[in-house]
Structure 1
């Protein structure tokens, strides 16, 4: 399927970010359903993969033809897998290639995911020198037995040391990923994890409950998890502990100190645009036939790249034989989001934010009138699932508790006829 050739002015379309997927891990964790693959004995094919990433980006930029100089990147997020398996010099080369193709905002946020078992002081300093200015460290827990149960390769001491060495290397913005509701976990143990994370002086915490996802070892061989009462107590006491330490909950599972929210993830949740490169990466891009999509026929496209690293690298080899970057070589799926699906797509993101989004974002970022979803909004407000704030689209405290119920109300089978 081919996208139209259009000319879009950046100030009238959503902010633009870039997601880069690094698909390799030392080994696959039993709870993980992300696109990650154990690295082979030959190691990560770093040089070839970076070449493929840049060729993939070339293909996207050529296919979605527009004046890219008017759409500076606001953020770059490097996820995985374990991106800290790539060397600092690899990121220097990658960033140079991206800069040659896209302009960057002066205050661009560049986040790297890292695992405590794969980094040391010298690497952190190298990543900082390469231009990375935010780290997200996958701790999950500081408890040794829990780490073993989760299949993690680091110890609790290594997790503590990773955060400290990151700060010593000059990183001021650090997120820790922590899970709760682990097999056999008590309320006290979950809160102890939070207390240790807070004591490290990090600026952001992603604190989320372990869920058993299909296509994982844990789904096939399910561990015994805490019961609902224990999970509720963990959530309640944990949120109190975080609030007392100055962490504001701004998304379902994200807590930040003042002005330390992840700008890249905010762009996702506010229905911004993002290019996605790398094996299995996802992207979302808004195109319009006019500078103002509220008065034009907006087109919003989603893309998914080839999932398996070997197939992704093979696509690059094939592209090299022709000398022409082809979007078809990397795309597993490329489709325009139909208007009837936009309410669910938009609310799936926006309602995760505790403060929601300005109501104006609906028209600005979908091209549809707010009348399109007016009766659904009214019904959810009547049920107490949305706040009665006409200038914001925001879940209530009850709505955050029953978020799936609120979001499902915007599924196509419940939607009103689209109008512009």
Structure 2
């Protein structure tokens, strides 16, 4: 019997108190009137999307396994706005009883009232953006909070009843040493969160960091083995450009993360994600396993029914759309139907991000063809190079990246683009 199709929702809140130095997400500061107008439009779009999924003006026949309210900084909104958004989701979509509902939040924007309102609205998972416990590193990143403010936010979240909390961390930060990163990791583990996302900083084009570091690339090269400068005087008004850790130091942080978190009982289930047993992020696993997802709100991306599309990134255009125009899908742009080859590629290079890898049977059910007929030659090459392994036999055979393969995953995953 074919498995009943499920759906994931992503709701985008583009507002932040201020933009961080490294951030390339669609986010910006806004006044209260703009926030109210946006939430009103978002609620309308949620209602229309729920109806469109069936064409019956009723709740979607695709049960929703997860919803993720991301940004931006959703916690920068008044808690009444979040309650309105959650009410719209519950009224227009069929949430499974155990659906994972996550909201992203940043210290400095959370209060006890907000957290209690989130729980009352049905939100059961909190993702807290810490990045670093080091005050100098937080300043260099342009974060608005301190370590003590983070601790208070975490305490308030537990008091409000949140039993599933993720903490976001970053390594390879300006001025960061291995020792300061290890200290951050230890401080976080002592709090016993259920989930930790640990990413290396990537300096993306279009960010303040990109402009500063690309302009001073030659100067950074001249630092040679210098790993850290004093960043205690970094301010928002005069951020000092400090060197990034060198490649060797960055790799040391990466390997230490794996080893230390494993020692402390956190299972690495994806390249950059670690959890207590049974606390893997349902929403993110859905992305990697190919579950259809529907993005709602400014700039939100979707992949549903074999089609990729996204909402306009133009705020004034989005706010000006009438209910009729939203119902006609005029908020969408960049529509693209995936070919069978593109679907196979996506199945492989997303699924292989998971440490469990891909199950051959899942591929064959989805595409109606033996996985080795498509990728046998690539599997053979990568197994010879020690980058991939096969476990199990028959219908239970599974292809996974080895430890070495995970370390160089970008190169390995590119092999699966046919």
TM-score category (smaller protein): 0.7 to 0.9
8 Å Cα contact 2:178-2:252 kept in structure 1: yes
The secondary structure found in structure 2 opposite 1:116 is: coil
1:169 corresponding residue in structure 2: 160
Note closer, same or farther for the CA distance 1:65–1:377 as it changes in structure 2 (3 Å cut).
farther
Per-residue deviation at 1:189? 0.6
CA distance in 2, matches of 1:166, 1:225: 33
Tell me, yes or no, if the aligned pair for 1:204 and 1:256 is still in contact at 8 Å: yes
Q: Superposed, which structure 2 residues align to 1:10-409 within 5 Å? A: 12=3, 14-39=5-30, 42-43=31-32, 45-61=34-50, 65=54, 69-222=60-213, 223-286=242-305, 300-315=306-321, 319-320=322-323, 323=324, 325-366=326-367, 369-370=370-371, 371-389=373-391, 391-409=397-415
| TM-score of the two chains, using structure 1 as the length reference | 0.86
Task: Report the Cα distance in structure 2 between the residues aligned to 1:327 and 1:363, rounded to whole angstroms.
Answer: 35
TM-score, normalization: structure 2? Answer: 0.86
CA-atom RMSD in angstroms: 2.1
SS of the residue 2:18 aligns to: coil
Quote the Cα distance in structure 1 between the aligned partners of 2:211 and 2:366: 40
Note the residue ranges of structure 2 that are not aligned, 5 or more in a row. Answer: 214-241
Secondary structure at the counterpart of residue 401 of structure 2: coil
Report what 1:5 is aligned to.
none
- The CA distance in 2 between the partners of 1:123 and 1:60, in whole Å, is 27
Using a 3 Å threshold, how does the CA distance of structure 1 residues 252 and 29 change in structure 2: closer, same or farther? Answer: same
Judging changes above 3 Å, is the alpha-carbon distance between structure 1 residues 14 and 362 closer, same or farther for their aligned structure 2 residues? farther
Cα distance in 2 for residues equivalent to 1:394 and 1:127: 38
In 1, the alpha carbon distance for the partners of 2:378 and 2:120 equals 49
Distance 1:333 1:56 in 2: 18
**In 1, Cα distance between the equivalents of 2:330 and 2:84?**
23
CA deviation after TM superposition for structure 1 residue 246, in Å: 0.8
1:24 and 1:268 mapped to 2: Cα distance?
Answer: 24
Tell me which moved more, 55-64 or 270-279: 55-64
The 10-residue stretch of structure 1 (370-379 or 140-149) with the greater mean CA deviation from structure 2: 370-379
Could you tell me whether the CA contact under 8 Å between 1:63 and 1:327 is conserved in 2? no
Cα distance in 1 for residues equivalent to 2:155 and 2:262: 22
What displacement does 1:58 show?
4.5
**Which secondary structure does the structure 2 equivalent of 1:325 belong to?**
helix
Shift of 1:309: 2.6
1:195/1:110 CA distance change after superposition, 3 Å: same
Residue 376 of structure 1: how far off its partner (Å): 2.5
The answer to which structure, 1 or 2, has the higher relative contact order (CA under 8 A, 6+ apart) is 1
**Structure 1: gaps of 5 or more residues:** 1-8, 287-299, 416-420
**Alignment CA distance shift 1:283-1:362 (3 Å):** same
Aligned residues: 383
Instruction: Call closer, same or farther: CA 1:342–1:368 in 2, change over 3 Å.
Output: farther
